[in-house]
Structure 1
Amino acid sequence: MMKNWLVTCLTVALLLLSPFVPLSSAEASSKKENRSIMGSSTVTPQQMADFVKRKNPHNVRLEGVTVEELAKLFIIIGAKEGVRGDVAFAQALKETGYFSYKGDVLPRQHNYSGIGTVGKGVKGHFFRSPHQGVTAQIQHLKAYASKDDLNMTRVDPRFHYVKRGSATTWPALHRKWAMQPKGNYGTEILSIYREMERTQLRVAKK
Structure 2
Amino acid sequence: MMKKVFSLMIAFLLITSSLLSTASIVEAAPKKQNSAIMGVSALTPQQMADYVKKKNPRDVRLAKTSVEDLAKLFVIIGAKEGVRGDVAFAQALKETGYFRYGGDVLPKQHNYSGIGTTGNGVKGHFFRSPQQGVTAQIQHLKAYASNDALNTKQVDPRFHLVKRGSAKTWPSLHQKWAMQPKGNYGTEILSIYQEMSKTPKRVAKAKR
Matching residue of 2:30: 28
* Percent of aligned pairs with the same amino acid: 72
2:140/2:159 contact within 8 Å kept: yes
**Cα distance, 1:202 vs structure 2:** 6.9
Matching residue of 2:167: 167
SS in 1 for 2:30: helix
Which residue identity lines up with residue 116 of structure 2 in the other structure? Answer: G
**Cα distance, 1:28 vs structure 2:** 3.2
Q: Name the Cα RMSD after superposition.
A: 3.0
CA distances 1:65-89 after superposition (whole Å, capped 9, x unpaired): 0000000000110000010000000
Matching residue of 1:144: 144
TM-score, normalised by the number of residues in structure 2: 0.84
CA distances 1:116-173 after superposition (whole Å, capped 9, x unpaired): 0011111000001000000000000000000000000000000000000000010110
Which residue identity lines up with residue 28 of structure 1 in the other structure? Answer: P
Aligned length: 201
2:46/2:204 contact within 8 Å kept: no
Matching residue of 2:21: none
SS in 1 for 2:104: coil
Which residue identity lines up with residue 199 of structure 1 in the other structure? Answer: T
Matching residue of 2:88: 88
Q: Runs of 4 or more off by more than 2 Å in structure 1?
A: 27-30, 201-204
**Cα distance, 1:29 vs structure 2:** 4.0
Is 1:64 the counterpart of 2:71 in the alignment?
Answer: no
Matching residue of 1:192: 192
Structure 2 residue runs without a partner (length 5+): 19-24
CA distances 1:17-50 after superposition (whole Å, capped 9, x unpaired): xxxxx89x9x9344xx111100110100000000
Whole-angstrom CA distance in 2 between matches of 1:111 and 1:199: 25
